[in-house]
Structure 1
Amino acid sequence: MSRIAIIAGQGRLPAVVAEGLDDPAVFALDGFAPDGLDATVFRLERLVPFLDELIRRDLRQVVFAGAIRRPRLEPEAFDPRTVQLVPRILAAMQSGDDAALRTVLDIFEENDLSICSVSEIRPDLVPNEGVLAGQVSDADRRDAARAAEILSQTGVLDLGQGVVVAQGLCLALETLPGTAAMLEFAGRHQGLRPDPCGGKGVFYKAPKLGQDLRIDLPTLGPDSVDQAAAAGLAGVAWQAGGVILIDQAEMIRRADAAGIFLWAAGPFG
């Protein structure tokens, strides 16, 4: 495999991905620098010259890793070639995050750049089906199946990638504020469970239906475990092969300490 370019966003994921690669070239959109990793900064207003630079350096394989919000654009900063893409980019942004991401992928590929997924270059970060910690009860399995059903319906609305279900009821759905806010909300309302002695509930995460799995895969890490435990849930489940785990060993350690499960769930039938 030739040298890979990492288009890095915020958070720890870019550094984790880089650890398993041989001398990757790391770039970050201005204002969205990754944690613990040096990166060459570029601006969206000069996207075409940036793509030219990747090709000039023979960095034709690209992986996206990390969180990026919609940047503020400065009209006077656009170069003449990138400005021609503005109507296309703005139209995609108005259609939602998924459409915007697909447009970015298209632009890269139209410039002879190949998009790799994190699961391709670091398959160890995306576990297959299995229970990693704790025990999953029948009630937990039913809640996870219900959660997967909910996300299969909300994905077309371009909402978040996580949901909390307890005793078959949706306690919280991930939206723009993110996972931590969702789990905090679920913790405050855990008393809404019909049976106080019944299932505690499951935090479930999965890609949106139809999402391009080469980019913006859901991510879980040790903090997710702490937040799920603090919310009083029985455990964390996710779609096997569709979610990135950051520091899997530490996640397992914290789950065992908190007495909750971690489960890469297969298809629900």
Structure 2
Amino acid sequence: MKTALITGRGGLPAALVAAMPARPLIASLDGFTPDGLTPDMGFRLERLVPFLRALHDQNITHVTFAGAAQRPRLDPALIDPATAELLPALMAAMAQGDDATLRAVIAIFEDEGFTIAGVADIAPALIPGPGFLAGSATDADTRDATRAASIVAALGTVDVGQGAVVQQGLCLGVEALPGTDAMLRAVAGIPATLRPDPAKGKGLFYKAPKPGQDRRIDLPTLGPDTIHLVAAAGLGGITWAAGGVICLDPAAMADLAAENGLFLWSRAP
């Protein structure tokens, strides 16, 4: 078995490489270089078929996707004839949303004979099971977590986002195209006069995969930076769906949460 790690931006690709027994071939989408890694090759979507052939030339059998990437703008002048045959179906999927796009990408790689390996397959320690990594939840937190989970599930059915902030039952923010960091910064900017009394519950940030999501790709990710943003937003902690969210550095996250008086709750469905 020989694995290629197809990367976008962020720290997840490096965390996966550190957890793998052997260094994979690292291929990054043009313009989306990962943190802390030097890719072995780059590729563009307009040249997807030549890239797939290059993976075969390297005797790659398994492929893992990791890292953040936005939909790239295509340059028609760069499209080769073989890739041109794939693009109409891929573009149609892109118009339907992220989930449809990812399913289309997976189908292309599987049709080429590659096995898709998810983070759970290669680095299960990065996906915590049920329990608390730090602190504990109050009854108010439990109610907010239940409310947030229902909101994220509803968002997921229309392919909008994977996160929400809830305080005392009120939804202060939902994750959309700008992402988690933008949402948490927006929550931090909400005037205190519009938020519930924190003495009765500070609220929480909740994260979970979308319903029906293929968990081999695009799992939600949390990391130490998330802790800082949640603290700045005046929340009481972070809750996520156990077994469905990647934690980049669980030990560092737990330490930071303790320093900031936050709880980290990997919540059973």
Question: TM class, shorter-chain normalised?
Answer: over 0.9
Write the letter of the residue equivalent to 1:232: G
- In the alignment, the residues of structure 2 paired with residue 194 and residue 27 of structure 1 have an alpha-carbon distance, to the nearest angstrom, of 47
Aligned equivalent of 2:261: 259
Contact 1:7 1:65 in 2 (8 A): yes
Distance across 2 between alignment mates of 1:74 and 1:183: 34
8 Å contact from structure 2 (residues 8, 28) kept in 1:
yes
Which position in structure 1 is the counterpart of 2:31? 31
- Equivalent-residue separation in structure 2 for 1:34 and 1:184 (angstroms): 23
Secondary structure of 1:104's counterpart equals helix
Indicate the residue corresponding to 2:88 in structure 1.
Answer: 87
Deviation per CA, 1:163-190: give whole Å up to 9, x if none: 0001011110011111111112222226
AA matched with 2:6: I
1:188-231 superposed Cα distances (whole Å, 9 cap, x missing partner):
22633344421110100001111111100000001101111111
Task: Give the alignment's Cα RMSD to 1 decimal.
Answer: 1.1
TM-score between both structures, scaled by the size of structure 2: 0.96
Instruction: Give the aligned partner of residue 20 of structure 1.
Output: 19
Q: What runs of 5+ residues in structure 2 fail to find an aligned partner?
A: none
1:39-118 mapped onto 2 (5 Å cutoff):
39=39, 40-118=41-119
Q: Identical aligned pairs, as a percentage?
A: 54
- What does 1:1-269 align with in structure 2 at a 5 Å threshold? 2-21=1-20, 22-39=22-39, 40-189=41-190, 191=192, 192-267=194-269
| Cα distance between partner residues in 1 of 2:9 and 2:83 | 24
Deviations 1:96-121 (A, max 9, x none): 11111110000000010111101111
Distance 1:208 1:113 in 2: 24
| CA distance in structure 2 between the partners assigned to 1:254 and 1:88 by the alignment | 44
Q: In structure 2, how many angstroms separate the alpha carbons of the residues matched to 1:28 and 1:123?
A: 23
Check whether the contact 1:45–1:73 (CA below 8 A) recurs between aligned residues: yes
Unmatched segments (≥5 aa) in structure 1: none
C-alpha contact (below 8 Å) 2:144/2:204 kept by paired residues:
yes
Give TM-score scaled by structure 1 length: 0.96
Contact kept? 1:190, 1:232, Cα under 8 Å: no
Kindly provide the amino acid, as one letter, of the partner of residue 3 in structure 1: K
Instruction: Give the letter aligned to residue 34 of structure 2.
Output: P
Question: Aligned pairs, how many?
Answer: 266
